[in-house]
Amino acid sequence: MPLVEFHSVVCLLGTFPALAGVDLQVEPRDIVLLEGPNGAGKTTLLRLIAGLIPPHSGEAQVFGLDLFKDRRSARRRLALVGHESYCYDDLTVMENLQFTFKASGVTGMEINSVLERTGLDGLAGVRHAHLSAGQRRRLALANAMVRNPELLLLDEPHAGLDEEGRACLHEIIASAPSEGRTVVLASHELELSRQLANREVRVESGTIVKSGRGEL
């Protein structure tokens, strides 16, 4: 059964149709690259899959759950790394991760191992407000991983990351299938992302114009 199944999905931002009839299927353990020009609708598509915005029409299911009826249950099983860190300025790295960990009701994940994996192990006691932009990106990734998601959504995950950060990111993406995880990433770093993805989807003007295994 596909993890994500969209048929003719329309999504409005105000009255603007950010997605105008999207058909998309994501199979378990896929690594899907969304590519396309700025304003094509990649971020909206990721936020829609994440259940942060509601679909307007069509059929939209994530984990077999209808996004028209129950977005919250779907959200419990996925994580999104967006353009911002989704963290609190006045909490430390560890406090932010602990809050997400407890609030998500996660089992089978250790915060310290996530800190090591994202290269944040020396920054556990530092407040979010005092982190650099690159360190915040790593924290956003750690904040997603600490939830042990079945589906990991990444929106421009390379942005702001140094070489070491990119290596951490690539290790997480590459090992996702063996950990039972599915990844959907939107990126303009096509060369890097194509090394990891086993499927590519091109988004233009709110619709999917091409989709296939390997480079389009």
Partner 1 sequence: MRLWREASLVAAKDLRIEARSRIALGQILPFGIIVAILFAFALDPDSGLLTRVAPGLFWVTVLLAALLAVGRSFAVEEKSNARDGLRLTGLDGSAVFLGKMAAIAAELFFLEILLGIAVVILYGVEVNGVVVLLAAAPAATLGIASTGTLYGVLAAGLRSRETLLPLLLLPVLAPVLLGATRAFEGGLEGAPSDAWPWVGLLWIFATFYTAFGVLAFGTLWEND
Binding site for partner 1 (CB under 8 A): 50, 52-54, 71-73, 75-76, 78-80, 82-91, 95, 99-100, 102-105, 127-128, 136, 143, 147
Q: Which is nearer to partner 1, 81 or 208 (CB)?
A: 81
Residue 111, CB-side half-sphere exposure with 13 Å CA sphere: 16
**Closest distance to partner 1 from the beta carbon of 144 (Å):** 9
Q: Which is nearer to partner 1, 47 or 202 (CB)?
A: 47
The single-letter code of the amino acid at 103 is: A
**Closest distance to partner 1 from the beta carbon of 127 (Å):** 8
Sheet holding 16-26, edge to edge: 16-26, 4-13, 57-62, 65-66
Q: Which is nearer to partner 1, 184 or 197 (CB)?
A: 184
Q: What is the C-alpha separation between 4 and 10, in angstroms, rounded?
A: 15
Q: Pick from 75, 203, 59: which is nearest to 150 by CA?
A: 75
CB 79 within 8 A of CB 149: yes
Q: Pick from 77, 86, 101, 95: which is nearest to 4 by CA?
A: 77
Q: Which is nearer to partner 1, 71 or 199 (CB)?
A: 71
Q: Which is nearer to partner 1, 77 or 170 (CB)?
A: 77
Q: Which is nearer to partner 1, 14 or 214 (CB)?
A: 14
SS3 content of the chain, % helix, strand, coil (to 5): 30, 30, 40
Other Cβ atoms closer than 10 A to 108: 5
φ, ψ of residue 129 in degrees (nearest 5): -65, -25
The DSSP output letter for 179 is G
**Closest distance to partner 1 from the beta carbon of 60 (Å):** 15
